[in-house]
Amino acid sequence: MGRARGRAKAFRPESVVNVSAMSFGSLSANAIRSINEGVALTGAMHNTGEGGLSQHHQHGGDLIWQIGTGYFGCRDEQGRFDLDRLVETAAANPVRAIEIKLSQGAKPGLGGVLPAAKVTPEIAAIRGIPVGHDCISPSRHGEFTDVDSMLDWIEKIADATGLPVGVKSAVGNMEIWEELANRMAEEDRGVDFITIDGGEGGTGAAPLTFSDSVSLPFREGFARVYGTFAARGITDDVVFIGSGKLGLPDNAVVAFALGADMVNVAREAMLAIGCIQAQKCHTDRCPVGVATQDPWLSRGIDPTLKSVRLASYLRTVRRDLVKVAEACGVWHPSLITADDIELLDGQGASVSLRERYSYQPGWGSSVPSSSRRSPS
pLDDT score of 223: 97
pLDDT at 117: 79
Q: Determine the pLDDT at residue 1.
A: 47
pLDDT at residue 208 in the model: 63
Q: Residue 113 — φ and ψ, nearest 5°?
A: -135, 125
pLDDT score, position 214: 67
pLDDT of residue 349: 84
What's residue 90's pLDDT?
A: 96
Render pLDDT for 84-140 as a digit per residue (tens, 0 to 9): 999 999 999 999 999 999 987 555 656 677 788 788 899 999 998 888 888 888 888
The model carries a pTM of 0.92
- 66 has which bridge partners? 99
Q: How much is the pLDDT for 107? A: 58
User: pLDDT below 50 — which residues of the chain?
Assistant: 1-2, 367, 369-370, 375-376
Residue 165: its pLDDT value, please?
97
Alpha helices in 187-232 (DSSP H): 208-213, 218-230
Residue 197: closest CA among 177, 213, 220:
220
**Domain architecture of the chain: domains with CATH:** 17-371 (3.20.20.70)
Query: Comparing C-alpha atoms, which of 191, 310, 198 is closest to residue 243?
Result: 198
Q: Model confidence over 45-82: pLDDT tens digits?
A: 999 999 999 999 999 999 999 999 999 999 998 889 99
Q: Which residues face 100 on adjacent strands?
A: 67, 167
Q: Return the closest-CA partner of residue 259 out of 124, 372, 362, 125.
A: 362
Confidence at residue 212, expressed as pLDDT on a 0 to 100 scale: 61
